[in-house]
């Protein structure tokens, strides 16, 4: 089980703890695969969570979303402003971004490079992804991706699943 070493009122919020745990789970995955992790040292807003580098290959950025996928559809997503920010970061800086989801409902860590996720993906369900959904009531529009677009990186450990579920219940 990964532990959080950050102490501040911000990091005491369950949704922040959940995100921090997800980031540490994904960092641990990349470290076990031989990558070196470069992460921000400040508690200020940053364009992505961390970057990774291995064996003289081109480094890439990693953004982690610790959230459950849709129960009704095999989809997950990010809010439109984040989608647009990631596009700007990738385009303006000529860097690839790997978008990772830590999903305690599925007990899985999965992801894909953002430039691949933004290309049209016609699915056998008749929908093309990414798809932008506007909801009523002031909810931020969300871009959805089909889980078939993602690669599973690893399964979550039972203790990680339970801890993330506990944090999700505190948020709801």
Q: In this structure, what CATH number is given to the domain that contains residue 21?
A: 3.40.1350.10
Pair type for strands 121-122 and 128-129:
antiparallel
Q: Tell me, yes or no, whether 3 lies in a domain.
A: no
The more confidently predicted of residues 92 and 2 is 92
Q: What sign does the dihedral 66-155-147-52 (CA atoms) show?
A: positive
Q: Say if CB 33 and CB 19 are below 8 A apart.
A: no
Is the predicted pLDDT of residue 74 greater than 90, yes or no?
yes
Instruction: Check residue 15 and give its pLDDT.
Output: 84
Instruction: Check residue 14 and give its pLDDT.
Output: 77
Is the predicted pLDDT of residue 60 greater than 90, yes or no?
yes
Tokens for 73, please give them.
Answer: 């559809």
Q: Tell me, yes or no, whether 2 lies in a domain.
A: no
| Residue range of the domain that includes 80 | 10-171
In angstroms, rounded to a whole number, what is the distance separating the alpha carbons of residues 105 and 101?
Answer: 11
pLDDT interval class at 135 (50, 70, 90): confident
**What integer is the mean pLDDT of 57-74?**
95
Q: Tell me, yes or no, whether 85 lies in a domain.
A: yes
* Peptide bond just before 143 cis, omega within 30 deg: no
Instruction: Check residue 1 and give its pLDDT.
Output: 53
Q: Tell me, yes or no, whether 5 lies in a domain.
A: no
Is the predicted pLDDT of residue 56 greater than 70, yes or no?
yes
Three-state secondary structure call for residue 30: helix
Please enumerate in sequence order all residues whose Cβ is within 8 A of that of 129, keeping only pairs 6 or more positions apart, or say none.
Answer: 75, 117, 120, 121, 123, 144, 145, 146, 149
Q: Tell me, yes or no, whether 41 lies in a domain.
A: yes
Tokens for 122, please give them.
Answer: 């016609």
In angstroms, rounded to a whole number, what is the distance separating the alpha carbons of residues 87 and 118?
Answer: 9
Q: Tell me, yes or no, whether 93 lies in a domain.
A: yes
Instruction: Check residue 170 and give its pLDDT.
Output: 82
Q: Say if CB 78 and CB 65 are below 8 A apart.
A: yes
């Amino acid at each position: 089980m990964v532990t959080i070493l950050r102490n501040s009122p911000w990091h005491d919020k369950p949704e922040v703890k959940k995100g921090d745990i997800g980031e540490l789970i994904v960092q641990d995955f990349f470290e076990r695969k031989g990558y070196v992790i470069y992460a921000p040292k400040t508690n200020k807003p940053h364009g992505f969570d961390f970057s990774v580098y291995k064996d003289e290959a081109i480094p890439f950025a990693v953004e982690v979303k610790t959230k459950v996928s849709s129960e009704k559809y095999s989809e997950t997503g990010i809010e439109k402003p984040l989608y647009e920010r990631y596009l700007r970061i990738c385009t303006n800086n000529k860097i690839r971004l790997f978008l990772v989801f830590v999903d305690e409902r599925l007990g899985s860590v999965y992801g894909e490079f953002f430039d691949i996720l933004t290309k049209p993906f016609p699915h056998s369900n008749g929908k093309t992804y990414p798809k932008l959904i506007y909801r009523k009531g002031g909810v931020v529009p969300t871009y959805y991706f089909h889980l078939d677009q993602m690669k599973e990186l690893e399964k979550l450990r039972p203790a990680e699943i339970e801890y993330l579920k506990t944090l999700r219940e505190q948020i709801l």
